[in-house]
Amino acid sequence: MLSLADSIRISSPLTETRISTQLFGSRTRRGITIVRSSRRQARVSRCKCSATEQPQPQRRKQRAGKYKKEKSEEEEKGIDPVGFLSKYEINHKAFAQFLRERYKSLKDLKDEILTRHFSLKEMSTGYELLGMHRNMQHRVDYLEWAPGARYCALIGDFNGWSTTDNCAREGHFGHDDYGYWFIILEDKLRQGEEPDKLYFQQYNYMDDYDKGDTGITVEEIFKKANDEYWEPGEDRFIKSRYEVAAKLYEEMFGPNGPQTEEELEEMPDAATRYKALKEQQKNDPSSNLPSYDVIDNGKEYDIFNVIGDPESFKKFRMKQPPIPYWLETKKGRKGWVQKYMPALPHGSQYRVYFNTPNGPLERVPAWATFVIPDADGKQAVAVHWEPTPEYAYKWKHKQPVKPKSLRIYECHIGISGQEPKISSFNDFISKVLPHVKEAGYNAIQIIGVVEHKDYFTVGYRVTNFYAVSSRYGTPDDFKRLIDEAHGLGLLVFLEIVHSYAAADEMVGLSLFDGTNDCYFHTGKRGHHKFWGTRMFKYGDLDVLHFLLSNLNWWVEEYHVDGFHFHSLSSMLYTHNGFASFTGDMDEYCNQYVDKDALLYLILANEVLHTLHPNVITIAEDATLYPGLCDQTSQGGLGFDYFANLSASEMWLALLENTPDHEWCMSKIVTTLVGNRQNTDKMLLYAENHNQSISGGCSFAEILIGNSVGKSSISQESLLRGCSLHKMIRLITCTIGGHAYLNFMGNEFGHPKRVEFPMSSNNFSFSLANRSWDLLENDVHYQLFSFDKDMMDLDKNGRILSRGLANIHHVNDTTMVISYLRGPNLFVFNFHPVNSYERYTVGVEEAGEYQITLNTDEKKYGGRGLFGHDQNLQRTINRRADGMRICLEVPLPSRSAQVYKLTRILRA
């Protein structure tokens, strides 16, 4: 007899199996070994069940060797919590100790997670259980986390907004110890229909939606299973499952059993009972059940050897469970529609109702997948999105292969149209996606697509993390957008905001269950110091469950290819990144660093890259936290790319505050390449949406303004503006890492700023759009043509995917920058006046160099100063820039050229 506390380990029939138990009924404890014979040799192993016979643990030796054992295990797995420090030759004891403590905290956190979840994968798929889900047993299940609530109910148009019709049951069936509430909405029987005979009758709502009721009864299916599946002898206890219990009852309490306590004999021990059983079964017919036997040598403390037949065990284990018969009991969608009416029809509006210590509350469910944040001026509602399979979106295209370099087109759905209104997903598909493909980009990055209540916040104050913004269309519309982008070979990145959340209580997560510490920190720690947004409590397992599942949700449900993590400095520090940074390593490990936030980012990257190896993650951190793009096993945070935010700030400062002749080439290069740590993983951009949305101006507005084609701007000013616009984008794109980004419209010099409708502009949409008609203008079309050829330069010449640029010439006097990247030579002359007929720059290979891109060409709006004979240059055997070979190239003022080695000459 086995109890639940006994330890059982079972392996294959041909290997040893140990069972730690005891033989009840005898006065002595016996060790038992089960042995299964193999073809070569039967192995016998002995184990002792008595606790007194076990050796005492040597705790001091275990403690002494514990550290060495853990260290050796980590080394075997290739784990080094401070690995990236030695890689970059960083020697800082305090930060190294911080990394070791952080790694220990990560291990403890994973152990804590595994006490509640089967695996990290299971923890990051909470959307499969939480929220609203159709159950195959003709019902809808709703699960929500609200630990501060005392009562939970669903209200909506499906039940007349009643707070009592659909509530969670009492006890653990409706509310557990972790604060999760469970509500079941049973589908309603149609008039004249009878309930299903099978209590657990299931319906396949999606896969076999055109399949009806076959008419075969459950009894017929079960009879068919018993007749076809079981072999003779195997179904004995299935057909008469109470036979053993009835015989035992008859023997003990029947008319021929003992009538008094004195007549009740002592129950024989297990060995005697087993011998009696074998004697009783000696004439029984053969069975297909696994055969075994027990050998007893007769000694009082002998160990029983249980000998099993490996062939019979193998045959029994190879038998597949009768799942096909169970699946045959399922009915199709037509059978369900004929019998039931859905308890929650598609398109139903609903909210969750809580009774809390502070009174009743109505909230939009945290895991809602479709939300109307402002329903006709009334309180926000969630919308149940469950289209029938005939109308549900079906994916047509596979996700593109992960490229070696990224050319990202950043866009906002709402302002992507020509008209002064909020554009939709369908507008974006028909008008913007073809333009992005023509422009030569290989990825789009969408901002502001996750549901947010206030449009003027550009989507950064998220209220509903699992819902696409309803102002742009439906969830299926967004799926179609991503699918069409994939069909054009474009990756789709989502800018995700997990660094903070909207402080709105009626539609967001703030005070969700009536308490101040549900998803967020309490007190000042729970509010952003300057933005008023709420700060997540990353140390809470349920908050981690919510955020990790949210990342996985967008990949699984919408097939997004990556994430741009917005404003990490807001979450990594308790001062929200608004302290002055000097670059000292102590600033990355002092008391202001939120270790829980770091652990979340590590888990996020581990989960994403483990479940979806092709997913790309980009970090946006103004403080450039050490190890952003290093592997988590080496002490890093695990991102694929990081955004260099200082580059755009530098260009903006130069354009607005510094005369052209005072630009410092050394500062430009230093800012663009950083400290050369992980430069290959750097995402560079000259300008993104911040320059046009956050009260600023686009570079084109600064350089050429809104007066293109008008007499108010001179030809010289126009030439200066266009030349700098092209040069800034070319050097920013090619000098850094493997990724480049451009904001929608800036590729053709969009001169108007973006201003979302708000009270200060009387909620006007006049500047909340993109003027695509500017492409019909010569100047803007010329800028677009240059940007397109710049993208083709990388597409055809693989510029960004090559190694780091060899920056060998930086001259602040002549204002010339030159660098090599593979066979390509880049030369920039930023001087506003001086041109050079034969400027000397060093090269690595002797040969002929052909111009592949020239900013001064007339088709790009340049002066066209190059003759046809100057497009091909041959090297000279003279040392320059530390190299033994050089080129003498013509350099017009405010121009840049790209040369490619087309022919190698050997001396």
Residue identified by tokens 């309180």 is 379
Helix axes 93-114, 595-611, angle to 10 degrees: 60
The tokens for 689 are: 């949406």
Residue 620 annotated as catalytic: yes
* Residue-wise pLDDT tens digits, 801-810: 998 999 999 9
What does pTM read for this prediction? 0.83
Residues 6 or more apart whose CB falls under 8 angstroms from that of 328 comprise 216, 221
681/630 Cα distance (integer angstroms):
10
CB proximity list for 16: less than 8 A, separation 6 or greater: 34, 35, 36, 43, 45
pLDDT band at 566 (very low <50, low <70, confident <90, very high): very high
Confidence band of 329 (pLDDT split at 50, 70, 90) = confident
Q: In which residue are the tokens 């459950």 written?
A: 218
- Residue 657 phi, psi (nearest 5): -120, -15
At 310 the pLDDT is 74
Please report the pLDDT score of residue 113 as a whole number. 96
Query: Higher confidence at residue 559 or residue 694?
Result: 559
Percent of the chain topping pLDDT 70: 82
Question: If pLDDT is split at 50, 70 and 90, which confidence band does 760 have?
Answer: confident
Residue type, 899: Y
Residue-level pLDDT at 46:
35
186: region left, alpha or beta (phi > 0 left; psi from -120 to 50 alpha): beta
How much of the chain exceeds pLDDT 90, in percent?
61
Q: Which residue has the higher pLDDT, 108 or 74?
A: 108
At residue 31, does pLDDT exceed 60? no
Higher pLDDT, 828 or 328: 828
At 761 the pLDDT is 85
Torsion angle (degrees, nearest 10) of CA 519, 525, 530, 533? 10
Residues 6+ apart with CB under 8 A from 898: 730, 734, 793, 824, 825, 826, 827, 851, 852, 853, 854
Structure confidence at residue 244 (pLDDT): 66
Mean pLDDT of all residues in 430-455: 96
Residue 891 DSSP SS3: strand
d(CA 461, CA 458): 8
DSSP state of 772: G
Instruction: Summarize the confidence of residues 818-830 as an average pLDDT.
Output: 96
Output 638 or 65, whichever has higher pLDDT: 638
DSSP 643: E
| pLDDT tens digits, 219-269 | 788 788 777 777 666 666 566 666 667 777 776 677 777 767 676 677 677
- Report the run of H or E that residue 68 belongs to, with start and end: helix 59-76
The pLDDT confidence band at residue 12, using thresholds 50, 70 and 90, is: very low
Active-site entry in 484, 606, 620, 755: 620
| Token pair listed for 126 | 């909470």
If you average pLDDT over residues 398-415, what whole number do you get?
Answer: 95
d(CA 508, CA 549): 18
